[in-house]
Amino acid sequence: MRSATPKHHPIVVLTARFEPGYKAGGPIRAVADGLDSLAKDISCLVVTSDRDLGDDAPYEGLSGALVERGRHEILYVDTTRLPDWWRALLSVRRARPEVLYLNSFWSPQFTMLPVLAVLLRALRPRKVILAPRGELSPGALALKTGKKRLAFPIWSLALRLCRPTMQASSMSEAAMIRKSLPWIRENEIVYQHDRGPAPAAAVAEVTSNSRFVFVGRIARMKNVLLLIESLRHVEDSVSLDIFGPIEDRPYWDECLAAIATLPEHVSVTYRGLLGPDLVQTTFAQYDGFLLPTRGENFCHAIAESLSVGCPTLCSDRTPWSDVLRAGGGEVVTDLDPHAWSAAITRWNRRSPSERQVARNQCLRAYVSWRQSVPSAPAVEVELKRCRQQRRP
C-alpha cells in the first residue's frame, strides 16, 4: 500500500539496498529481520535505493514511491536524481526520528551524506547508530581501494564529531571497530545479535553422493577462487554448485579460468542467482556449504544453511566458529588451498549414514544457538535508552 507523505517514526533507517532486492545479501535480511523483530509500538521509515545491487533498471513501479510495510514505511530513492534526495531529506525531517540507523560504514549516499546532514544540523536525531557490516574486518580493509585509504582519516574525523553509536555483532567485531576508530568509547558500542531464520522441523534425507554448495556474492571477500583452487587437490570425484550474483566481473573471470583447468573428476557449476525464498530449500539439498570467506559481520547464509541441517565448512573469520565446532560443521583456520582440500576430502568421503548424522548434529547446534540469542534488536534497546535519558 502506498502513502502520500511519511508519518512520524521514532526510527529512520538509511540503507543502500532493501526488499524486494536480494543481491546484496545479508545487509538486506538484517534490516528486514530487524523491522519484523521490533516491538509492536515502534515503527520505522526506511530510505533506500530504487534498484538492486548492480542493476541499471529500478524496481518496477517503486522509483520515488513511499510504500507501507505493515506499520513501517519504505521510501525508494533514485540516487541519480537531486529531487529524490530533496524529498528524502524532507521525509526524514517529517518523520522526526529519535534514532537514525545507518546500515553501512562506507556508503557515500546512505551513510556519509546523512552524517554530514547531522553535523550541519539538517537532521537532529537524539542518537545515530552506524552498523559497519563487517567493513572494518582485516579482510575487508585489505581490499580497500586507494580512494578509501585516502578518505579514511577525514571520514574518521567526521564520525568523531558526530559521535555515533557503533553496532557490533560480536566481541571480535567490537575489537575491529576500536582498532579502526581508537577514539570510540566503550559505551559507544552496542551489540546486535541477529537470530537467523526459524529452524526446520527435520533435516532432509541424504543422497548417495556428497554434494557441496557455495551461496553468496561472487567477490574477493568471499574467496571463491581459493575454494575452486582447493578442489584441484581433491583426488576423488567431487561436485560444487555456485549460486550468487557476480559482483566483481574481473574476479569471476579469474574463477572461470581456474575452473577450465580443473581435473575431469572435479565438477564446478555456476547455477545463477538464488531468490531469498529459495535459499533454505536449496541448502537442504546439499551435504556441505563451503565458505572460505575473508571475513563476515554475521553471514545470514550460514544461518540459513545451519537452519536446515546443511553443515558449514568455513574459515575462522565469522562469528559462527563456536557453533560450527559444537556440531554445525567445521572451522578451517588457514586460508590455504591445501588445508581446504584436506577438509573437503574428509567431508567428501563420509558415508551416507555419517552425512545424515552430520546433518542432524548441525540442526541441533543451530537450535541450541538460536535459543540463546536475545530477541530485542539493538536499535530498539537504544531507542528505549534514549527515552529513559530524556525523562526528568
Q: Which positions ≥6 away from 303 have C-beta within 8 Å? A: 194, 196, 197, 366
- The two beta strands, 66-69 and 72-77, are antiparallel
Residue 121 gets the label, from left (phi > 0), alpha (psi -120 to 50) or beta, of left
Distance CA 333, CA 315 (A): 6
C-beta of residue 369 within 8 angstroms of C-beta of residue 363? no
Distance CA 77, CA 234 (A): 48
Give pLDDT, residue 124: 95
Give pLDDT, residue 144: 66
**Torsion angle, CA of 247/253/258/259, rounded to 10 degrees?**
80
- The two beta strands, 99-102 and 127-130, are parallel
Q: Which positions ≥6 away from 49 have C-beta within 8 Å? A: 16, 17, 18, 21, 76, 77, 79, 109, 110
Tell me the domains of the chain and their CATH numbers.
11-194+374-390 (3.40.50.2000), 212-371 (3.40.50.2000)
Q: Which residue, 69, 67, 89, is CA-closest to 14? A: 89
Instruction: Tell me the backbone φ, ψ of residue 387, rounded to 5 degrees.
Output: -70, -35
Give pLDDT, residue 170: 82
Give pLDDT, residue 78: 96
Where helices occur in the chain by DSSP H, the ranges are: 26-37, 82-95, 113-119, 138-142, 146-162, 171-180, 224-231, 249-260, 279-283, 300-307, 321-323, 337-348, 352-371, 378-390
Q: Which residue, 218, 29, 51, 224, is CA-closest to 131? A: 29
Between the CA of residue 135 and those of 132, 300, 366, what are the distances in Å? 5, 16, 25
pLDDT in tens, the chain (392 residues): 555 666 899 999 999 999 999 998 888 988 998 999 899 999 999 999 999 998 999 999 999 999 999 999 999 999 999 999 999 999 999 999 999 999 999 999 999 999 999 999 999 999 999 999 888 887 777 766 677 778 899 999 999 999 999 999 888 889 999 999 999 998 999 988 788 899 998 888 888 889 999 999 999 999 999 999 999 999 999 999 999 999 999 999 999 999 999 999 999 999 999 988 999 999 999 999 999 999 888 889 999 999 999 999 999 999 999 999 999 999 999 999 999 999 999 999 999 999 999 999 999 999 999 998 877 788 998 898 888 876 65
Taking the CA atoms of 318, 319, 321 and 326 in sequence, report the sign of the dihedral they define. negative
Give pLDDT, residue 206: 87
